[in-house]
Structure 1
Amino acid sequence: MRTTEEAEGFDGEASNTSMISGASSPYQPTTEPVRARGVLGGIRCDMEYLKSHLGILKAVEVVLALISFICIETIMVCAPCGGVYFFEFVSCSAFVVTGVLLLIFSLNLHTKVPHVNWNLTDLINTTASTVFFFLASLVLACINHITGAEIAAVIFGFLVTCVYALNTFLAVRKWRLGDGSHGSLPTSEYIRARTASRGEMEARPELA
């Protein structure tokens, strides 16, 4: 039978051996949280953007473009039909593109792709929508202005043109100010993380 001293000696040697092996092991446990990776990581609804002037204008544009498209789709007979088809294309395209941009900005998806100049993208969309909606509404008012659906489409077309024009003015001012804080945020965080990790590697003593 082992004596108490021998048992304590073996236990002490085992504990010392485990401490030495743990200290010399390059795989040390870490308590740093692992961030979610991927494009879909950290998606949240940005209520501040939806309550801002740009968010409200973009939501109004989506609604008015949809109403304009519904009005033009209710026209069953047209003569000529060129103005109707052009207005239909413009209203549908504006509804889809503006709706996608509203979804991207409201869910902060634009921060996942910082290499794209989203301010310039929004400016191009609002400018093009303003010009094409104005032309489509003007052509429809000059050629097709007989039925109630055509008149309603013209009214909503000029109304959404005014909203897009106001959005274009705000987008130009934001683009000139160079508000790229959302786009540069992930890059700056990545640089700080890389710098911190390099500092930890330099501070760690070399293994014998």
Structure 2
Amino acid sequence: MRNSEEVDGFDGEASNTSMISGASSPYQPTTEPVHARNVLGDIRCDTEYLKSNFGILKITEVALSLIAFICIETIMLCLPCGGVYFFEFVSCSASVVTGVLLAVFSLRLHAKVPQVNWTLTDLVNTGACTFFFFLSSIVLASLNHSSAAEIAAVIFGFLVMCVYGLNTFLAVRRWRQGDGRPGAAPSSEYTRARTASRGEVEAQPELQ
């Protein structure tokens, strides 16, 4: 009987000891919820960019490119069709690429990808569109049947070429001035946030 009582006493002391050690242990299970990072939560329309010179030029380029593309699409008969197909490809590609860049800048998506030099990307796009619209408009003006749709496409082609040329000039000037890394500021803010967070972690006492 005494042995059984001693065993029961040892079991009680062991359970009490384990409870005390478990309560005083610094490694406690956590029930804090893990929040998913909302990467696209702070996307908003940048009205200041849309009102700026580059924003107005981008909107004008997309609109004129689409009008030129619609004009060339209304041509039902062409012989030869090389000039029509070339102008169609240039106007469609320019409207799509410029529209994507307009969305990237107006929604401030470029701030989330600071590794890309967006000013240089915009400069390459505007320069290429200026050259290809000039070339395709010259070809279409030389190889056409003097139809209303072809004449309208040529007119809008030269108009959008002038707008792209102005945008190229402004983009070159901005690139030379070094005002071309929109992601630089967000990157520095991210670095400061990481540094502050690391300092808070180091300031916490180490668990023994």
Alignment TM-score > 0.5, same fold: yes
Distance 2:114 2:192 in 1: 16
CA distance 1:21–1:197, change in 2 (3 Å): farther
Distance 1:167 1:84 in 2: 25
Deviations 1:109-140 (A, max 9, x none): 11111111110110000000000000000111
* Structure 1 residue 88, shift from structure 2 partner: 0.5
TM-score normalised to structure 2 length: 0.81
Distance 2:36 2:60 in 1: 36
Deviations 1:57-83 (A, max 9, x none): 000000000000000011111121111
Q: 1:91 maps to which residue?
A: 91
Corresponding residue SS for 2:183: helix
Quick one: which amino acid aligns to residue 132 of structure 1?
F
Distance 1:35 1:49 in 2: 30
The percent identity for this pair of structures is: 70
Q: 2:79 maps to which residue?
A: 79
Quick one: which amino acid aligns to residue 71 of structure 1?
C
Quick one: which amino acid aligns to residue 103 of structure 2?
L
* Structure 1 residue 174, shift from structure 2 partner: 1.2
Deviations 1:129-158 (A, max 9, x none): 000000000111111151111110010000
Say if 2:114 and 2:181, in contact at 8 Å, map to a contact too: no
Distance 2:81 2:179 in 1: 43
Distance 2:115 2:146 in 1: 49
Q: 1:5 maps to which residue?
A: none
* Structure 1 residue 21, shift from structure 2 partner: 6.1
Distance 2:175 2:41 in 1: 27
CA distance 1:115–1:141, change in 2 (3 Å): same
Say if 1:36 and 1:42, in contact at 8 Å, map to a contact too: no
Q: Which moved more, 1:197-206 or 1:87-96?
A: 197-206
- Residue correspondence of structure 1 range 178-189 to structure 2 within 5 A: 178-189=178-189
> Aligned Cα RMSD in Å?
2.4
Distance 1:100 1:170 in 2: 19
Q: 1:3 maps to which residue?
A: none
Distance 1:21 1:59 in 2: 65
* Structure 1 residue 189, shift from structure 2 partner: 1.8
Say if 2:68 and 2:153, in contact at 8 Å, map to a contact too: yes
Say if 1:66 and 1:92, in contact at 8 Å, map to a contact too: yes
Unaligned stretches of 5+ in structure 1?
A: 1-16
Unaligned stretches of 5+ in structure 2?
A: 1-19
Corresponding residue SS for 1:96: helix
Say if 1:65 and 1:94, in contact at 8 Å, map to a contact too: yes
Say if 1:84 and 1:140, in contact at 8 Å, map to a contact too: yes
Q: Which has the larger radius of gyration?
A: 2
Distance 1:117 1:186 in 2: 14
Quick one: which amino acid aligns to residue 122 of structure 2?
D
Distance 2:41 2:185 in 1: 15
Quick one: which amino acid aligns to residue 64 of structure 1?
L
Deviations 1:89-121 (A, max 9, x none): 100000100011101111111111111111011
